Amino acid sequence: MIASRPDHQRIVITGVGLTAPNGNDLPTFRRSLLEGRSGVTRFETRYFGPTLAGVCHFDELRYQRRKEVRRGTRAGSIGIYCAREAILDAGLDWPNVDRSTVGIYVGVTEHGNVETENEIFLLKQYEYDTQYWSHHHNPRTVANNPAGEISVNLGVTGPHYTLGAACAAGNAGIIQGVQMLRLGEVDAALCGGVSESIHTFGIFASFHSQGALARHEDPAKASRPFDADRNGIVVAEGGCMFVLERLSEARARGARIYGEIAGYAMNSDAHDFVLPHPGRQAECMELALKRAELSAEEIDLVSTHATGTTSGDVQECLALRHVFGDSGRTVLNNTKSFIGHAMGAAGALELAGNLPAFSDGVCHATINLDRPDPECDLPGLLANQPREMPRVETILNNSFGMLGINSVVIVRKV
């Protein structure tokens, strides 16, 4: 059993900081999920025009000066806000923390597109004379931003880097934090994922060209995974950072513990640029279960990845049916139906939204599931209304990305 590991090898979540389209902290986000409150709204972006998106409304100036916001990036601001909130939530005595022992691991789907598009747009007024190109371009677009912006803001001198893992990135950030703690490389990890994707017209235009951008006259009903009338992805921004610590150290300081990372896995489809491979997704879930020393029947809640695309949802359902079969006790839900697809932040946000089920015993629903697609039939899929559960002690969190990158994180109640 996982609990038989020594406490210094057991990694727990002690802090959560987030911004989502329907909440800027975990209690607000959780209430929105339980009350069926969508964060999708009408949105207009340069060149592409009117569309729908999940838009965050956090206070950028809570932890940054205006000059820092202008110099940096939207992803950096999201990461700083979430990291600072996670530290506060964890109750760390931050002024006295040895910051050389803290690591920062941030998952991203992409980074730099927003800044590059904006800078080229501004350069037009100078007839594309590159002598007017922003000297901030390089630090804004290097791959270690936004983790680097968090490091500068917090004065963290331990390792920091981003992990490019497409839409599996939020889980990838968590997994990296766990591994570094178990290796003894750090004593605390700030990890998760961020996305600023709604501020680039290119992502909307690309999904539209692919025929995978959601449309609906009612923005709140546009994101509808597993529904027969789904027609694509609602792009969202957002972020979620966790504080991870060793169980021994968390207990020593009397920290509140949200849950323990019991198992995880990442693998690759090696199959296609876009189309998922259900067999590889199933293998990823099975490997995470094996590492957690749990059977599928012992998982109480599955947070699904489904984005609302016609083919992608079906492929994940094939994988889920393979792993969980006809189990009548495992309940499944989907958070993207509320906020859209927050790309690199998706896995972290979706895990965070479900963590309170360990204490309140409630599974939030999948909204907009009005006409379930027969091809997406899943025993235990919770539609439209939250459910009180007889127990919630284990959560399996799916997060899959383009070019066939898959990630699964399993958390258990401590």
Active site residues per annotation? 167, 305, 341
CB atoms within 10 A of CB 14: 24
Name the token pair of 125. Answer: 């007024």
**C-alpha–C-alpha distance, residues 2 and 10, integer Å:** 8
Q: By the 8 A CB rule, do 91 and 255 touch?
A: yes
What dihedral angle (degrees, nearest 10) is formed by the CA atoms of 371, 377, 380, 383? -10
Q: By the 8 A CB rule, do 73 and 34 touch?
A: no
Greatest pairwise CA separation for the chain in angstroms: 66
Query: Phi and psi for 365 in degrees, rounded to 5?
Result: -85, 175
SS3 of 369, please? coil
SS3 of 50, please? strand
Q: By the 8 A CB rule, do 342 and 349 touch?
A: yes
DSSP E strands in 218-293: the ranges are 235-236, 238-246, 259-268
Name the token pair of 13. Answer: 């979540």
**C-alpha–C-alpha distance, residues 81 and 83, integer Å:** 6
Q: How far is CA 171 from the centre of its chain?
A: 7
**C-alpha–C-alpha distance, residues 118 and 140, integer Å:** 12
